[in-house]
Homo-oligomer: A and B are copies of this chain.
Amino acid sequence: MPGEFIQQKNAFESIQLKFTMKIKSLFCWIIAIAAGFPVNRLYAQKSNASVSIEKFGAKKDLGEDATEAVKNALLYIKQNKINKLVFPKGRYDFYPDQAAEKYIFTSNNDESLKRIIFLLSGFNNVEIDGQGASFIFHGYVSPFIIENSTGITLKNFSIDWERTFHSEGKIISVDNDGMELSFSEKFPYKIENGILVFRDNNKVEYPYGSLLEFDPVKHETAYMASDYYFGHGQAAKEISPGTVRLLAPGIKGTPGNVMVFNALKRLCSAITVADSRDLLFDSLNIYHCGGMGIVAQRSRDMEINHLTVTRSPGTGRVLSITADATHFVNCGGKLLIQNSLFENQMDDAANIHGIYVQVTKKFSATKVEVQLKHEQQLGFDFIRPGSKLELVHNTDMETYDTVTVKNVNRINKEYTQVTFTKPLPAQLVIGKDVLAAIDNYPEVTIRNCIIQKNRARGMLIGSRGKVLIENNTFHTSGAAILFEGDGSYWFEQAGVRDVTLRNNLFDNCNYGVWGNAVIQIGSGVQKEYRNISRYNRNIKIYNNIFNVFDPRLLNGYSVKGLSFSNNTINISEAYPNKFPGAKRFDLTDCADLKIDGL
């Protein structure tokens, strides 16, 4: 049934595991304790002062809107310094009508005036325990926004939506002029002026921005399927109720597969965190949202444990959530992700990076104007008095100087004027060079996770802190691990300094179009600068198992310090090998390589 809470281990049974979760979990704690990871610190906010949502009038399983009860409960908790809000197990529904309202900018998401159900703004030491509850959301709402808070725990509940932000249609036939699809009543639509429009039963619309083919038997993106992007919807006509012909010459697909019309915008991420610290997300199931599962910005010290991102049980959907499972921007402290399942979502399982702004004007030796360049970064105000920033040419992407911020004058969500404590160097190139923060990088541990069957990559690792990725299983359509970062297109700061990948199973990854190897060390270093740039550094890959159906295992450039040792490589026939002549290790413009078998 939609939104029913399922146990973590049931979801995990969908893939063959080498260890049982219990052994994995035990192993993880041993490692954690051995590594001196302060696992207990995160649980310190637990308290005996507890209150039930029932006290505020919420009743489970009746379909009533529990939003006002949540608002009153949060107010009560804040005023009375209560530490715990409990939901008796059951279904709770949340609608936009009574929700709080705030204009929210979240990096890599779409800004908007949002309706927020759980708005935790300025909260300290609060745990929300769903006790196995399922939270069902309706329409354009943001379930959780946590900002300027410390010591927040969310645990034991699931998040799902009554009507998804994306829509799914089964391919009936394909020809030169387009494709015929059938839609179930779960994805109401209309043809307006010759254009396919998705909506719900209350005529609320669900615009789409891209189309991707999924294999509903394997529950993954179809082999080598590409995204088909829409600017403004798709010309179409209705053949009969529920059957639609897309007027899209050249579109490809296999009858029986499912086409996913993904949400145009990322407006309703499940859990958004900003400017907060000491957070624990434990035993959460995110079955759907119109954005990311957990996205955190300018925050530090976070643990994600037993998070399940998967398609909603019993609904027949092929997609879980419409963007990344987790995403961290300009975060610091310790970031631990463990014992989690990330599958069927429309983008990466984890993406960790900073943000570059472009220097667009120079007012004086110490004062410049900078611009946030990517549309989904607008309003990401990370430059504050005292911030330490690196100066970078967008050609080689290497830090050529560091500066300290004295004053900041925000013009609007796009432009900011910044004054520094010292004159800027002569080599500053206006309109090209970028700046990024270097105060904080998270120390990342990702372990005992399963990452599979989603669109795009497993993990984008862009932290300059210590990164350990171990005991995970990857079966991703793109690269399992991608190192990225550029100052020309996405404007995402990356460039690792110390990464260990060990004891992972890379199980037939890269069966889609979103990678050129299982492990891909790319970046936006421009071609003619790759021989001088060492943007990514010190990557150790050992004791992993690679099941591969094509040769492309490791691709990289501009790396200093890369070792690949004691890994097991098994040749598989899981998918057709479309790259028979390709190199297993395609490494150029690198230094200090130690590659077994190269």
List A residues at the B interface (Cβ < 8 Å). Answer: 97-101, 103, 111, 113, 115, 190, 192-195, 197, 230-235, 247-248, 411-415
Question: In the bound complex, what is the Cα–Cα distance between A128 and B415 (angstroms)?
Answer: 27
Give the Cβ gap from A466 to chain B, nearest Cβ, in Å: 39
Count copies of this chain in the complex.
2
Q: Specify which of B98, B113, B192 is in contact with A411 (CB 8 Å cutoff).
A: B98
Q: Known: A101-B413, A415-B97. Contact between A193 and B113, CB under 8 A?
A: no
Which B residues lie within 8 Å of A99 (CB)? Answer: 412
Q: Known: A103-B113, A113-B103. Contact between A232 and B412, CB under 8 A?
A: no
Which B residues lie within 8 Å of A247 (CB)? Answer: 194, 235
Which B residues lie within 8 Å of A231 (CB)? Answer: 190, 192-193, 195, 197
Question: In the bound complex, what is the Cα–Cα distance between A414 and B95 (angstroms)?
Answer: 13
Q: Is the CB of B113 within 8 A of A413?
A: yes
Question: In the bound complex, what is the Cα–Cα distance between A99 and B410 (angstroms)?
Answer: 11
A-B contact pairs, 12 of them (CB 8 A): A98-B412, A100-B412, A113-B113, A115-B412, A192-B232, A193-B232, A193-B234, A193-B235, A193-B248, A194-B248, A195-B234, A233-B233
Q: Is the CB of A232 within 8 A of B235?
A: no
Q: Is the CB of B234 within 8 A of A194?
A: yes
Q: Specify which of B111, B115, B197, B232 is in contact with A113 (CB 8 Å cutoff).
A: B111
Closest to A197 in B: B232
Q: Is the CB of A194 within 8 A of B235?
A: yes
Closest to A235 in B: B194
Question: In the bound complex, what is the Cα–Cα distance between A197 and B231 (angstroms)?
Answer: 9
**Known pairs A194-B234, A233-B233. 13 more at Cβ < 8 A?**
A97-B415, A98-B415, A101-B411, A103-B113, A193-B230, A193-B235, A194-B194, A194-B235, A195-B231, A195-B232, A195-B233, A197-B231, A232-B233
Q: Is the CB of A101 within 8 A of B412?
A: yes
Question: In the bound complex, what is the Cα–Cα distance between A232 and B236 (angstroms)?
Answer: 12
Which B residues lie within 8 Å of A230 (CB)? Answer: 192-193
Give the Cβ gap from A16 to chain B, nearest Cβ, in Å: 41
Q: Is the CB of A233 within 8 A of B113?
A: no
Q: Known: A233-B233, A235-B235. Contact between A103 and B103, CB under 8 A?
A: yes
Question: In the bound complex, what is the Cα–Cα distance between A232 and B247 (angstroms)?
Answer: 16
Q: Specify which of B97, B111, B195, B414 is in contact with A97 (CB 8 Å cutoff).
A: B414
Give the Cβ gap from A565 to chain B, nearest Cβ, in Å: 48
Which B residues lie within 8 Å of A232 (CB)? Answer: 192-193, 195, 197, 232-233
The 10 A-B residue pairs whose C-beta atoms are closest, nearest first, are A194-B235, A192-B231, A101-B412, A235-B235, A195-B232, A193-B234, A193-B230, A232-B233, A103-B103, A197-B232
Question: In the bound complex, what is the Cα–Cα distance between A195 and B247 (angstroms)?
Answer: 11
Question: In the bound complex, what is the Cα–Cα distance between A197 and B230 (angstroms)?
Answer: 12
Which B residues lie within 8 Å of A194 (CB)? Answer: 194, 234-235, 247-248
Which B residues lie within 8 Å of A197 (CB)? Answer: 231-232
Question: In the bound complex, what is the Cα–Cα distance between A100 and B410 (angstroms)?
Answer: 10
Question: In the bound complex, what is the Cα–Cα distance between A98 and B115 (angstroms)?
Answer: 29
Question: In the bound complex, what is the Cα–Cα distance between A71 and B197 (angstroms)?
Answer: 42
Closest to A199 in B: B231
Give the Cβ gap from A206 to chain B, nearest Cβ, in Å: 12
Closest to A195 in B: B232
Question: In the bound complex, what is the Cα–Cα distance between A495 and B398 (angstroms)?
Answer: 70
Give the Cβ gap from A363 to chain B, nearest Cβ, in Å: 11
Most chain-B CB neighbours within 10 Å: which of A111, A115, A412, A413? Answer: A412
Question: In the bound complex, what is the Cα–Cα distance between A545 and B97 (angstroms)?
Answer: 51
Closest to A116 in B: B412
Which B residues lie within 8 Å of A414 (CB)? Answer: 97
Question: In the bound complex, what is the Cα–Cα distance between A464 and B100 (angstroms)?
Answer: 35
Q: Known: A97-B414, A103-B103, A413-B101. Contact between A195 and B111, CB under 8 A?
A: no
Closest to A413 in B: B101
